[in-house]
Structure 1
Amino acid sequence: MKKYKIAIIGGGPAGMMAAISSAKELKKPKNVILIEKNEYLGKKLLLTGGGRCNITNLKPTKKFLEKLRKEDKIFLKHSLYALDNEKLLSIFEKKGLEFKEEENGRCFPITDDANSILLILKEYLSELNIDILLNNHVKNISKNKNNIFEINKNNENNKNNEINEINEVNNEDSKSRDNNDFIIETNKKTIYAEKVILATGGDSYPQTGSNGEGYNIAANLGHSISQIYPGAIPLKIEDAFLKKLAGISLENISVLYKTKNNQKITSKGNVLITHFGLSGPGILDISNYISKDYNFSKDKNSEKFSHEEIELEDICIYLDMLPNMTEEELNEKIIVDSQNNGKTMVKNYLKYYLRNRFIDFFLNKIGVSGNKTLSNLTKKDKNKIINNIKSFQIKIKSLPEKSAMISCGGANIDEINSKTMESKLKNCKNLFFAGELLESYGPTGGYNLQIAFSTGYLAGTSATK
């Protein structure tokens, strides 16, 4: 059985980039192997950005880091400078693919097709003579016959059989490999490698193969796993009248959520009203905190989330339709406009601040007649309008975990060297991590794909040293 310098487990963005960067550094053909359990690479990648692939965010790296959690700013700094968004895009531009910038720095291929990204990644893999194993589901990882690590701990009969099989392999091949080599057993074959990069993904979109198995691999190798909870989730609401406005996008607003420990979290971005509730960047980012509140309040298995619909109680969010204007400034403007345009009906005046289709719903909800003129608007009604433009309350009914786009939490970053992505654990030398398997995550808008590519790149280059 051939021995590889580096084996990468997981054929998503992080895994493919790790394979490409390591093979470029090694400059030796057939020294890197990429193992994927699906029938093709990049299955989840093709779903990103609604199939368009929001590959990165074009903010400078310093600004990019400011969008991350405090602990992730520190941990991801080295990888994001090692492969920043300019370097990432240049990899694809060298193959003729162009990109375009959309709102808030979101970057997409000019083709609006995620397959354009995948085809180029596969082209690099082919040019670099990287061995690829498809339909190979990793079952066991070990370093020697006395150190077996299993993904599936529940099936004891299989466990005993698999250990015996690996011991036999060890005896047969002990002369041809180093005792510190990794033994990776899939459902089809056994692979030897000096170093392993885990890039198995998180627990979102399990239908793509990203079903949380990587957490078990990491845990069985001795790594601790932080609480796993779903992120970037559309929210379901109770208000039937609001759902009738499906298709309306409230642009560039601010969303406020008060956590259970009374911390005020805000997220800025578009909010899309859907047939079931709310979505869009502003909602998806705030959902991380709602999800965290729910999941951390329950006694749950840290290595999986349920993918069920979670009913919520007394959970509300607040929309600020004019985040760049204070209540005082809005009050003064309405006073001036009432003096100059007193005959204007309220429902027509609000077109300066709200989407047309949203106005009737808004006025009905707060109990103000839209047929009143500005000059006849009472102070009480004026305050209702101002208060609700700046803080419109919406009750959240449920959290559909099956719709989560990312996983929050994962392999504990305190146990991983941020400058190399290698495990710090004594018994896990030559084990590297990349992508969504890590507990780090970012907001929507291209941040998470950039993190996957950057950590994959750093893990790949580091593993060659």
Structure 2
Amino acid sequence: MLGREYDCIIIGAGPAGLFCAAHLAPARVLVLEKMVLPGRKLLIAGSGQCNITHTGEVKSFTDHYGDHGAFLRPALMAFSNASVRKYFEERGVSFVEKESGKVFPASLSADDILDALLDACDEAGTEILSYTPAEMVSFDNGMYAVKTLHGTYYAKVLVLATGGKSYPQTGSTGDGFTFAEELGHTVAEPHPSLAPVYVSDHRLADLSGISIPGAGVSVWRDGKKLFARHGDLLITRFGYSGPVILDAARWMRAGDQIRVAFSPRKAEELDGLIRTACAASGTKQVQNLLDGTGCPDRLVKQIVKESDIPEGTTGSQLTAAQRSRLVRNLTAYPVDIDHVGDFRVAMATAGGVMLDEINKKTCESKIVPGLFCIGEVLDIDGDTGGYNIQACFSTAFLAAQRIRQIL
């Protein structure tokens, strides 16, 4: 047998791969990383501040992974958000909470998390080979062979921790999907998740930068309502972003229509408010009668214009048809999606190794013994707020428990 032999080979030195390796001592573990340095994608998480997890009861976390949260339940219960904090706190990293429960290292630097992971791997005796992309994998006679430019490596256990396809400049180019298929697995078609949307005829582009807390967004396809969500919305120069859009992007497609509720008030309530305001202050301009909508003044002014209400129209001059258009645009503003942001701007990948082919209690393949899939290579993608990195740590921990039993 040519090449070096290990107990376990992990492909990918991101948070999942490094965390798994750190929990496998005293096994002989090799981590193969295609980039020059490990953790490239981790270093840009949360704009470099590294939103590592979220607060709250871990039981509620499964609601934040689209349609596939149930698969993650054993992993999340085995290594929870509290476990993540404790693990890194014991390694000198302190944390702060902000923005509705998001958890960051107190330094607001992803370097602290990566350094802690690399130190843990060093303590575990892990061998990390950077700038060594895996080119091909195979399984024969109970051993995995991983071919690279620098040689072929062998192990009883193989872990795919390659991530998805988002931010390809960090090395996430879907390699793990190819390897999984080579070993007999099925891969659900990958597509961008946690991505902004680009819209056709963006009439609110001049309002780029305005954020609307608690906006309502419903998505329609072929005249049928698919779902509705509430959250913070950001108007951009090309369309819409913010948590409510990013979290729903996994289900959106080109040609869908978004209907945005800028105001927290329901249509009937808002209509009554406008009627009352017009009756009480009929000489005031319409845009000055909308303080109760809960919308920024610049947005209100533009929505009045979008409702075909001439500038200078007063409350007493507002017609029923104009009022109806105004209420509709404040509570169900129609936006046609031109396209969802691609993998270059998406924060995560939807799709991946099919979950019914993976044991959710161990993250081990049901098809090939000794093969493990962890992190974003799986068909899971979380909401914004640290849920994706949490899934990396939880699945890595679960896999490591089983790998130690095998070895």
Q: Quick check: 1:412 aligned with 2:374?
A: no
2:115 is paired with a residue whose SS is helix
Quick one: distance in 1 between partners of 2:69 and 2:49? 27
Count of aligned residue pairs for this structure pair: 401
Larger deviation, residues 221-230 vs 237-246: 237-246
Compared with structure 1, are the counterparts of its residues 128 and 246 closer, same or farther at alpha carbon in structure 2 (3 Å cutoff)?
same
Deviation at 1:91, TM superposition (A): 1.6
Quick one: distance in 2 between partners of 1:69 and 1:234? 17
Quick one: distance in 1 between partners of 2:230 and 2:345? 21
Larger deviation, residues 369-378 vs 436-445: 369-378
Compared with structure 1, are the counterparts of its residues 98 and 341 closer, same or farther at alpha carbon in structure 2 (3 Å cutoff)?
farther
Is the Cα contact below 8 Å between 1:322 and 1:389 reproduced in 2?
A: yes
Alignment of 1:300-449 (within 5 A): 312=254, 314-323=255-264, 325-352=265-292, 353-369=294-310, 371-401=312-342, 402-425=344-367, 428-449=368-389
Quick one: distance in 2 between partners of 1:216 and 1:55? 28
Larger deviation, residues 128-137 vs 346-355: 346-355
Question: Which amino acid is the alignment partner of residue 269 of structure 1?
Answer: G
User: What is aligned with 2:22?
Assistant: 20
1:182 is paired with a residue whose SS is strand
Quick one: distance in 2 between partners of 1:68 and 1:400? 19
Question: Which amino acid is the alignment partner of residue 210 of structure 1?
Answer: S
Q: Quick check: 1:45 aligned with 2:42?
A: yes
Quick one: distance in 1 between partners of 2:304 and 2:94? 46
Is the Cα contact below 8 Å between 1:259 and 1:289 reproduced in 2?
A: no
2:8 to 6, 9, 20: 6
Compared with structure 1, are the counterparts of its residues 445 and 349 closer, same or farther at alpha carbon in structure 2 (3 Å cutoff)?
farther
Alignment of 1:147-162 (within 5 A): none
2:359 is paired with a residue whose SS is coil
Is the Cα contact below 8 Å between 2:24 and 2:124 reproduced in 1?
A: no
Is the Cα contact below 8 Å between 2:139 and 2:183 reproduced in 1?
A: no
Quick one: distance in 2 between partners of 1:334 and 1:429? 66
Structure 1 unaligned blocks of 5 or more: 145-178, 292-311
2:46 is paired with a residue whose SS is helix
Deviation at 1:265, TM superposition (A): 1.7
User: What is aligned with 1:166?
Assistant: none
Compared with structure 1, are the counterparts of its residues 443 and 261 closer, same or farther at alpha carbon in structure 2 (3 Å cutoff)?
farther
CA-to-aligned-CA distance 1:386-415 (integer Å, 9 cap, x gap): 222110112223334132221111101101
2:45 is paired with a residue whose SS is helix
Deviation at 1:384, TM superposition (A): 2.1
Structure 2 unaligned blocks of 5 or more: none
Question: Which amino acid is the alignment partner of residue 354 of structure 2?
Answer: N
Larger deviation, residues 3-12 vs 211-220: 3-12
Q: Percent identity?
A: 34
Deviation at 1:322, TM superposition (A): 3.0
Question: Which amino acid is the alignment partner of residue 217 of structure 1?
Answer: F
More strand by percentage: 2
Question: Which amino acid is the alignment partner of residue 13 of structure 1?
Answer: P
1:274 to 236, 249, 259: 236
Deviation at 1:31, TM superposition (A): 1.8
Q: Aligned-residue CA RMSD in angstroms?
A: 2.1
TM-score by length of 2: 0.92
1:64 to 61, 65, 72: 61
Quick one: distance in 1 between partners of 2:107 and 2:366? 41
Larger deviation, residues 437-446 vs 338-347: 338-347
Is the Cα contact below 8 Å between 1:252 and 1:270 reproduced in 2?
A: yes
Question: Which amino acid is the alignment partner of residue 315 of structure 1?
Answer: D
Compared with structure 1, are the counterparts of its residues 281 and 19 closer, same or farther at alpha carbon in structure 2 (3 Å cutoff)?
same
User: What is aligned with 1:159?
Assistant: none
Is the Cα contact below 8 Å between 1:434 and 1:456 reproduced in 2?
A: yes
CA-to-aligned-CA distance 1:164-187 (integer Å, 9 cap, x gap): xxxxxxxxxxxxxxx412222221
Question: Which amino acid is the alignment partner of residue 73 of structure 1?
Answer: G
Question: Which amino acid is the alignment partner of residue 55 of structure 2?
Answer: L
Quick one: distance in 1 between partners of 2:217 and 2:154? 50
User: What is aligned with 1:222?
Assistant: 184
Deviation at 1:224, TM superposition (A): 0.9
Is the Cα contact below 8 Å between 2:17 and 2:31 reproduced in 1?
A: yes
Compared with structure 1, are the counterparts of its residues 341 and 83 closer, same or farther at alpha carbon in structure 2 (3 Å cutoff)?
farther
Alignment of 1:141-220 (within 5 A): 141-144=137-140, 179-220=141-182
Quick one: distance in 2 between partners of 1:330 and 1:119? 52
1:464 is paired with a residue whose SS is helix
Is the Cα contact below 8 Å between 1:267 and 1:285 reproduced in 2?
A: no
Deviation at 1:57, TM superposition (A): 2.0
More helix by percentage: 1
CA-to-aligned-CA distance 1:100-157 (integer Å, 9 cap, x gap): 223332222222222222111112112222111111111232333xxxxxxxxxxxxx
Compared with structure 1, are the counterparts of its residues 184 and 48 closer, same or farther at alpha carbon in structure 2 (3 Å cutoff)?
same
Is the Cα contact below 8 Å between 1:18 and 1:461 reproduced in 2?
A: no
Quick one: distance in 2 between partners of 1:48 and 1:387? 37
Compared with structure 1, are the counterparts of its residues 453 and 343 closer, same or farther at alpha carbon in structure 2 (3 Å cutoff)?
farther
Compared with structure 1, are the counterparts of its residues 263 and 141 closer, same or farther at alpha carbon in structure 2 (3 Å cutoff)?
same
Quick one: distance in 2 between partners of 1:263 and 1:361? 26
User: What is aligned with 2:208?
Assistant: 246
Compared with structure 1, are the counterparts of its residues 204 and 106 closer, same or farther at alpha carbon in structure 2 (3 Å cutoff)?
same
TM-score by length of 1: 0.81
Larger deviation, residues 193-202 vs 340-349: 340-349
